[in-house]
Amino acid sequence: MRMKEILEMSFTRNIFFAMTLMILYGSSVLADDANSKLTLSRVGSVIEERVYPIYVYDYQPKLEVNVKTKISSDTPELVVAQWIEAMRSGNYAAALSFWDEQSKAMIEKRNKELKKTIDSWQAAWLKLYKGRNIYLAHQIKHGSILLIEYEIREPDDRLVTGEAVGLVKEKDKWFLTLKYADHPVIQGWNKKDFRVRRLIKD
């Protein structure tokens, strides 16, 4: 028998012997630990941080929203401007028409839950918009997400409030949408070092 064959046989036997010992030892450990019990020692968490790059564009100068404003057709800006004008005029049906179908259903469902009526919306819009100026201030982009922020200001230019609304394009037509309402980008695009934490459940 050649020396190479002898060495190979010896190596094979050693491997088999080592695996047998491991199996026997493992069985012994399992037998010894049969009465072991698990006790909770601590509760912790693992945090995954996700970063959403955003691009913020300014309307320079800010684009005032009124019936005389000239905005190109088939643009997200026009949709926001027409929606605001519908609210200003108290036209609930027209204001609702600028939202995508899923968002319309969500708005109507929420109205029923909160017992909001068309009259209550009209009163709220009158109070918010009367005698004030509205401007489109910023456009925010992240991937397919598009937001437009508008501002409501007093005649002396004091800021009353502002809001960023999401838009989506369907069949070459822009609509307002609530699909991004809970997204970190719409929640924190104008906040420094903003972080969202959500509890992940298996």
3-state secondary structure of 157: coil
pLDDT tens for residues 106-115?
A: 999 999 999 9
Question: What pLDDT digit, counting tens, does each position of 11-43 carry?
Answer: 455 544 445 445 444 544 445 566 889 999 999
In a domain, 61, yes or no: yes
More confident residue, 8 or 128: 128
Token couple for 181: 């309402």
pLDDT one-digit tens code per residue, 149-168: 999 999 999 999 999 999 99
pLDDT digits (tens, 9 = 90+) for 128-150: 999 999 999 999 999 999 999 99
Matching residue, tokens 């007093």: 154
Q: Is residue 121 part of a domain?
A: yes
Instruction: Tell me the per-residue pLDDT of 64-80, one tens digit each, with 9 for 90 and over.
Output: 998 677 787 789 999 99
Average pLDDT over residues 122-133: 96
The partner residues of 139 in beta bridges, in order of sequence, read 57, 148
Greater pLDDT, 18 or 44: 44
Range of 135's domain? 55-188
Q: What is the DSSP letter of 200?
A: -
Residue 169 belongs to domain with CATH number: 3.10.450.50
- pTM of the complete model beyond 0.85: no
Instruction: Give the total number of structural domains in the chain.
Output: 1
Closest to 151 (Cα-Cα) out of 143, 141, 159, 140: 159
- The answer to the question of residue 141 being in a domain is yes
**DSSP codes of every residue in 38-105:** -----------------EEEEEEEEEE-STT----TTSHHHHHHHHHHHHHTT-HHHHHTTB-HHHHH
Residue 100 lies in a domain: yes
**Per-residue pLDDT for 1 more than 90?**
no
* Residue 106 Cα distances to 40, 54, 84, 150, 161, angstroms: 43, 27, 19, 22, 24
User: What is the spatial distance between Cα 57 and Cα 39, in angstroms, rounded to a whole number?
Assistant: 55
pLDDT at 6: 44
Residues 6+ apart with CB under 8 A from 112: none
Within-domain flag for 96: yes
pLDDT on residue 193: 85
Does residue 30 sit within a domain?
A: no
The verdict on residue 47 lying in a domain is: no
Strand order of the β-sheet with 145-153 is 55-64, 133-142, 145-153, 159-170, 173-177
**The tokens of 196 are what?**
């969202």
Q: Is residue 198 part of a domain?
A: no
